[in-house]
Amino acid sequence: MGYGMREGLSERNKKILEAIIEDYIVTAEPVGSRAVTRRHGLTLSPATVRNVMADLEEMGFLTSPHTSAGRVPTDKAYRFYVDSLLAVGTIDKAERERIRKRYSLAGRDIGAVLHETSKLLSSVSHYMGIVLAPRFSSTIFRHFEFVKLSGRRILAILVAQNGTVQNKLIESAEELSADDLVRMSNYLNELLEGLPVSEVRAKILAEMQNEKVLYDALLTRALKLSEQTIEEGGAQIFIEGQTNIFEQPEFTDVRRMKEVFRAFEEKSQLIHLLDRSLSAEGVQIFIGAETRLNQMEGLSVITSPYLSGKNTLGVLGVIGPTRMGYGKVIPIVDYTAKLVSRLLEEE
């Protein structure tokens, strides 16, 4: 028996485990010893396979839902599969073309691109597509503008280098003329030119201490207003293709379905998860419990950050059942991330 080797399995055991996982991925049914020999061209008898399966169960790679059902891979099995067994395919040309085409339509607007991306990820993978939009603070300051709407109501608009816009309605303490507003904008634009947005707030606070400014009421006001504007908005996230999850047989049960949906309605946890892979490099995979979200039981997340030049902007990916076609999805996510990065590069 494979007990000699603490770590790692014998070649044969790997083959069998792989066969089981791949069978399960396509059938979604517990796979029995017979099925393994039949469908995967192994020259072993079911009895032998059964012995191996018992071992694999012992080691935590398989479980059986009940005595007379076949075995089902555990999270641990998928992890092993992804790490050691899976030959990540390359995305085929037709598919690649299909993805590329989708982008020619969407304008160059970053929001549109990201939204389209999540739809695309969903439709190409047949699972759910997710895109975490860049944090505003991760961009470079470009332009400040105050627009007077009426009386003391002012709309402050903050534009970042990458074309993202953040705006906020503020009520100023007293009425300001259009001229004042222009001067305020000019002043701020000069002051903040080229600064990372994350540092803008600090700069403003520092400037407030500046003596010269203290004597100029208008500038002080400008700083105050701008400070109100800069405010970390909650990260934006695009989720598309939720209904695809319904097609998965393991979520046919109403209770499970509810759970999953509840999880996605409360987006903050999901955002937190994506945040974790923001700093990673390349494709990351979270299998079932690895997401550390318990409503995500039975679901895996495949993500990749996308960047512009050297700056990581956000994360995109696919959420599907743990029983997912990793071999196909991984290259899709990878390719899409690179494509998006390329699209946003020039900015």
Which of the residues 188 through 247 are near a second copy (CB under 8 A)? 241-243, 246
Task: Enumerate residues 6+ apart whose C-beta is below 8 A from 314.
Answer: 114, 131, 132, 133, 134, 135, 278, 305, 306
Q: Which partner from the list a second copy, DNA, none does 254 bind, CB cut-off 5 to 8 Å by kind?
A: a second copy
Q: Is 145 in the site for a second copy (CB under 8 A)?
A: yes
- Positions 246 through 275 that interact with a second copy (CB under 8 A): 246, 252-254, 257-258, 261-262, 265
Distance (Å, rounded) from C-alpha 219 to C-alpha 212? 9
Nearer to DNA, 30 or 134 (CB): 30
Helix (H), strand (E) at residue 260: helix 254-265
Alpha-helix runs per DSSP H in 28-74: 33-39, 46-58
Kindly calculate the radius of gyration of the chain based on its CA atoms and give it in whole angstroms: 26
The one-character DSSP state at 283 is -
Under the binding rule (CB under 8 A), the answer on residue 108 touching a second copy is: yes
Q: 20 with 62: CB under 8 angstroms?
A: yes
Query: Where along the sequence are the contacts to DNA (CB under 7 A)?
Result: 1, 12, 29-35, 43-48, 50-51, 53-54, 57, 64-71
Cβ 73 to DNA shortest distance, Å: 13
Please give the Cα distance from 60 to 306 (Å, whole number). Answer: 35
Which region among 43-51, 149-157, 204-212, 217-225 touches a second copy (by CB under 8 A)?
Answer: 149-157
Burial class (CB in 10 A: 0-12, 13-18, 19+), 246: exposed
Return the exposure string of 178-215: e unless at least 16 CB atoms fall within 10 Å of the residue's CB, then b. eebbebbbebbeebbeeeebbebbebbeebeeeeebee
Rounded to a whole number of angstroms, the minimum distance from the CB of residue 189 to a second copy is 10
Pick one of a second copy, DNA, none as the site partner of residue 69 (Cβ within 5 to 8 A by kind).
Answer: DNA
Size of the site for a second copy (CB under 8 A): 36
Q: Which of 54, 155, 195, 213 binds a second copy (CB under 8 A)?
A: 155
User: Is the CB of residue 154 less than 8 Å from the CB of residue 170?
Assistant: yes
Interaction partner, residue 123 (DNA, a second copy, none; CB < 5-8 Å by kind): none
Establish if 153 lies at the interface with a second copy (CB under 8 A): yes
159 binds a second copy (CB under 8 A): yes
* Chain residues in the site for a second copy (CB under 8 A): 107-110, 142-143, 145, 147, 149-150, 153, 155, 157, 159, 161-163, 165, 167-169, 171, 241-243, 246, 252-254, 257-258, 261-262, 265, 346-347
